Structure 1
């Protein structure tokens, strides 16, 4: 089938081949700038064989069927065409000698009736020659209409013709034609429409409807505007259904409904009547009318006024319009108004246009002498096309999603790709990138195609956050290309992608080489170094990554070591670790002593004594015995870097040489440390001398003497202090519980002034009284405890001791308790629970248990023999 010409917007030209929805040329610029409203109809100019026909002839009328269309011309020819304008073979009928005025097709599409000004009415069978008829009248026949059931056998083969009267023709007996005049006397009949059992016709006076079932005329609807000449403004009739008639005449529209008359009282009235449910006047003339949907109408309108003049005084008409209106009782709402560019429209008048429709297919045919245009309701594909033409891409995608099953031309992805192309052209790169996931979905090919588009305009950075990483996974070159874009223009973004993207997406070595190339031009770029370290880590080249992190002093160093067990790799990097973060480095080293021995750490830190001190100090605090081989070294380190901990270390450790430690402290004149070392070495006198001579601290001297409990030290301290009143005061206040104060008091020279002497003596007396009170109190407590324990012993010994029935004598091993009293004996039970018959114990053993005594004597005899 030859393709149809698609109608589009066009210029104002008689030779234009396009049909468009246009605005009136008189609209102002402000009106043109208003938002365009989507049309409800789409148009296609019918071409193919029809073009050749209209080139030689001119269309005068048309009749349509869902199978085909019949075109009548001014030369009297009838052409049977398909809806695309192609000739149906052998269906060209030379029926008349002049203009074909009207044609009618039966319901089944088997027969065609036509009439002409030549006075002939022709009935043609399209598939058979049976029932073909040619009727000749003595005057022009303006209208003809067939019974919709003409094709049925026994239907009577009715058809009606109209000239100055309405004649019903019926095929009678033996094929004779029987005619009945249904109406006459009111002028020429110009239009007849037959639907069901109703025939509607129009003459110069108005519209009438005849009921074939009752054989009666049921209504007359008068013409509204008698001033309009019928030959210039014909009456347009169209049956919407079997009971609803649409009338468009001049500038008025009526919607008429045939109803059953409920009351039959008036016997002379038809049993049906017509109600006009809508009647209104338009601001345009009507060239054709048809139903649209369930409640709307389509009007082919003609806007030019009679006698309008164009250039050079010639008649000039405007374009015809196809309007969709919503009828109401006495007014209408215009829903759509499409101006049509019909070939030669400037020369046509109202009656030169015709409108016919195929209701079942929703096709409307607009006919002019030299052009035929088909109009159809716009489908979802047309709606999307309009949205795309108006750059309403988002709405188009929503529509495509909701009506995907109804679309034949468009699909969601194609719309989305067009949207992306538009956004890129508008430089809305971020918005386009965000839409990619929604539009491209999981299509690997579409993603890669779009990535290359972004690459061409250097906007990969905008797309990077939305590039898929799993489904679909793109070619590694795609990810490498994006990474390289960031590497060259956004180092921070490059580092972020390296962390976010799985390393499996791209070839790591390729990216490493690119980073190394950039570092060749910027060797100390911290961001690139961080990125390179992350790449080395992803590539499991942990030694290189560790070296890089150490160079950067990055916090991830220790995490990297722990996570990947890199203790062997750091054995020669301890100094760098300590220099980066001494605290975390020491923690790491101490937590892994088996992997990184103390000796190795000390060896590496020998040239960095401060770091070595930190390490050994933490080691000693964790385990005082672990680093015993280095305690001698620690003495020097504490003396150099942390003297406050030196004395505590000297007290806690037993693994350093005292003499070496003494030399270190002596060199630095660390007196408290020297005192402690002298005391540990046994040279307490020298130590006390340092306290008294160097420190001059009586409290420390007293504490030192208390610590060693040496009488000679006390004597030395007293001898040293006897001529120092301050020292004497200190001694008087503190030695009362260690040395007899009388010794000190007797050595004090007469007349020496001693600060606080009275208070000191009072304190000595108080301490003495306190000691006496303590002794008295202790004595009382001891006596009370003795009496209490004795009382408890007496009470315990007075208690009875149970003897079990099966218990035996420890001497004879017979049962202690017997039933026969003749053999009974007294029982002796000791506190040790050993029991005997009284008769079994010798007299000397009645007081003590011989078994316990024997047990106690054994070790004693052994001891004596040993001695």
Structure 2
């Protein structure tokens, strides 16, 4: 067997036959006993553990070809056996070698060349017909021997379909195999259940082997063997049929009106079990299946001759999943083609494999067996996967072995210095390999305590190697909850070795899991020796926050001039702490806009605007005062009234284009003072244009003519002046514009957009021979056309009005003339 492949079964040699007694020919098994028939006609009785109980030497005169136990109230004390040459059926009651009330039966089957097998009625004690035995005969007859207290009788159930090769009786059903077909018969209701054609119909080719077998050997004419299993009750069965190179699994459903439904669950050919798919031998069919039995309702054990060696193979098959096939090698003895397999009745899955001189037990490998083998091979990760996929209740009695698996796997990663993989797998491995004491049950305090201890041990392993940063992200904070000292110790180690990781951990760990003062002292100590370490500073800020030492935190933030100070002040409402000149100066140095917003938002309570303005005036930077008042005007405009004069001056000095006019439109102030302030600013800063602001103030004061003069004289904005006149709808403004029409630009704009308030004739009078206006002819033509259209519209309106008046007068006259 390949040592790297995990065995499919756990096997153990139960018993060995001494050579002087010949070879093992057949085996039968009950829930408590094993019967072994030999080629010399002897029968050995063993208990289920392989201890020899009795020897029935020379029970037969020739090779024993069939054995079975007759169960019932006799407690498996009865063994039925048949031989090949003497054609004897012997029912012996000497299982334990003691006397029995059951009389031994010896009867010879007539007319048969040899007997191939025997099966006993499972209801042997309660059957109304008496104790019945089915005998497979080579002459094609299936004989039923019935024994009563006085006499016995033979009858033929079926014949004429070729040699009967094997027979089995389970519950109500009797199954037998001939050279051409398999039949199943309901012995209680006396009807045939089904017929299955023999799967082997291909004539084999001669074997061309590689030396393991004779080159001249033909494929043996091997028996078709069957095994049957009751699934739930006597009415539901699984049937397994094994021929030379085919295995078929059937389900026989319960009896419904003398009719059972037989379903083929799965079928397997020889190449399905080949472990060398790319080099499957042409003569592989010469290495036959030797037998199969059900382990459970959907698991089969198949014994077959290996095509790659001179040994045997035992395969573990899942009926409903073809991918789940595992195979192991078994060393053969004598003629391997005479080997066989039988099931062991009972609750535990077990089979017996017999060869020439030995009986071996085979059982699906238990979780403990698999873990032990994988540990021995150093395949710890596979063992962990098995533990993880197994119900915890099934592991309770192997807690030591499971724990060893976890530890060895983790230490293998530790030795390989695979720190990342070790930290990633550590939580899962510790969780699934920590089991409670078997008496305490799943989820007990013992498992929690053990899990905590293992966590602490492995954290210590990381600390010793200086790799705490790898494990800190997976340390459990709730389930299980480690001692507070352990979390504190981890953070202290990170302070010294990896402050960057310390900062990340502090952001995710709740302050209740570790001792904040202790960690704070360690960080403060480290920071004294490395004052430029930003990670330590950040960690200290978090720790101060955890311990509500806001004064120290704020002092650090201001000292480091970090923008986080604004959020910290707002979140913890530390506005009172920044009412000093130095604090406000530092805040403005960090971020002017953020500081102004911070101060303006608290103008209602902690930071009144008068106090802030006083501090900013004391600082002496008018730009900072403007930034604060401008922000206050937008956030809390109701607080700006008392600072209007100052803010107006600041807007004139520092305001962006358009900001002053927006302020003037939305504030209450003295118009005279505003006009004086803006004119003063305009005279001091010739480069700035305040004409729009002055016009706006004059307009609000009602001095429209002065506003118009500003537009025409100071701003030279003729178009703006015309729009202003339109908006105000004041005839005096149009008169002033007409008076200024001696200016060709004003005249040209009025000709482009003549207003009804200006008589076109008066505009014509402004034109003389020296007037130079681009495109003057077109403008005059449009002016005349517009005047003509206007005149025509007026005439039409007059006619319509006159007609309406005349019509109304006639109606009134008629009403007057009517008699009263």
Q: Provide TM-score, normalisation by structure 1.
A: 0.47
Give the structure with higher Rg (CA). 1
Q: Provide TM-score, normalisation by structure 2.
A: 0.49
